[in-house]
Structure 1
């Protein structure tokens, strides 16, 4: 079967190259949120580390041309958000990430989610200027979608009362912060369109952190704004705050008060109209630039596999590994030289007078040992002689006689009985054996 002309046989280099081509050709840049471990800053300026979560890990490299833009020093255990390309390091067949951007997780994660949603909705055409509805002229009734008790509605009503007290206002109350806010805002837009009682809608709230304004970055809310037949002005937060609803809405005002200024038509209507058209043009240019940038990123990803800089970066990584091997080899050679020096020192010490002194000391120690042995042997001989005398003494001992099967009989007065004539029938006798005693009564006497 191996000899079949249809068999697809790879060598390792070709297989790794093919895997590299497939991975890099099918994946663009990815955002990854993970924990850093095994961080190493090489002498070349490149960074090598591992990104991991509770169940998996992947090796990463960030070359010095990229890591110079990182505003903090990474360390093990730190949670980060990285933007990277998936690649294969062919010499070892390692699957790895080549990191271009690194931020600390937290606000950075929200920002990346914002950018990702912004790209997705832009690709769907939700920001396109051709879908923007113009604000109606001669506005008589304004619908305000916001919190009924917030500062934004107070600011809007104050400006409207000052500039155009004849305009009517309908408030569609909704939460503007929290988990349910996006759904409530969407429901309010749908309700206002179903009731069809106003000329324009103002979607607004006061300033806050990115987390506070996050409900205005909801994808479902974005589609609801896009599909609204009524024109919508988005005025969320302060002038520096930008949300997805600002991009999708037909018009964006920097603040709630500014939105009220726009909606309350005065003698400066022409000036405001020009401002609005300018902003729409700005949005159109921004969206077009964003679309072109997305296309450029796609083309760059496709070109990446043939980029000489990318291959040079891999060669730099390979050089870093060779440098490590050289350092290891030199360390081993230095260790061997140290061992050889120790051996020479040992030979030198063997020729030193100290060695002879030590030999004589050892001889003296041997003599002392032999003396101790002789004394111990003499003690052993004397102990053996003592034990022999003890055995002779023991052999004539009454106890030894009892041990050979003899016994001693005593009468009631504890006197030794040697003749039967000393006894009478009925006497009580105590017979001592080698082990224990026997008590008996005399019933018959024979002489």
Structure 2
């Protein structure tokens, strides 16, 4: 960086534009290509396609611009508050004398990149339906065995075991130890998740770890682990970090617990609750026993009543009543049958009278006369319709006839059988023939006056 090109003497007077121009030249030569990190603020993307924003840290800020020709290759969409790393050169906006960065490349920096990757994966998996409540498996109401996928030496397993020992010591816990931090951690978590599903030895799975930074917990944001949790046949509770921490595993799991201790409380019923439930079962069993005794007594009374009803004397009386009822039904049926046959005979006689040949001939003759009258009327109607159509067609033909036009006072002028439509078609002294409706007039052109 040099100021050799910038000379100021007492005899040299600068204009403002010249000063800004030379300062711009010096800055662009001295800071032609630099790498800079900072937080984006005041981001604006007008219709021109250029990006304007400020880069700042905790002590200072600088204005920046990224032209459309460069930002169209940028795969990162900047937002206010995002930490980025840029490749830029320093320049001056001469009209205002503001020095600024001309950004050529931009990419997320530090946790900003991880946050971007987190948001992109979250949106993609949500679009595929992995977070939908329709796919969430219910947590069993009765749990005998709990599987825990976490570090065997971390604070999370200690918290889980402490809570389970206090609340439900009868629960059996099976630990599937795995790394919960590092590049390969998510592969071990997926392996243990598949192993638990193959064994099917537990009723529910808890997967998680204690708190930490975003980088520490990143294995729970990996796509393979999210898809393994979604495909799990066993219900999965995600318990990663503290209450404010959120991972992809929390969204795809069947249930999210704020902490590992909270997950242990979700799968373990309280001893007081169990005792209360046991008392409820005892009261319910006592009520069922009383109901059973009551039903048994009622059944015995019913059997006793049935035995009385089946006495031989009662049976004989019932059979006699049955005979009387059948005899009465037989008499009524005979009378109904006789009446029905008489009705059928009367109906047959009536039908026979209607089917007599003389009656049929009269009906046929009447029908023939009606058809004849209808035929005559149809022929007359068609004849009248055809006459009306013929008159209409004759009138239409007459209306378009040249002779009809002539009869209304018009004429047609020809020259050698060629109809004259314009004065340009005739010459002076030229003979013409004018056709009227009742004859022709032969004339000669004396003068031509065009309009």
Is the pair's TM-score, using the shorter chain for normalization, greater than 0.5? Answer: no
User: Which protein has greater RCO, CA pairs closer than 8 Å, 6+ apart?
Assistant: 1
Q: Which has the larger radius of gyration?
A: 2
What is the TM-score when the length of structure 2 is the normalising length?
A: 0.41
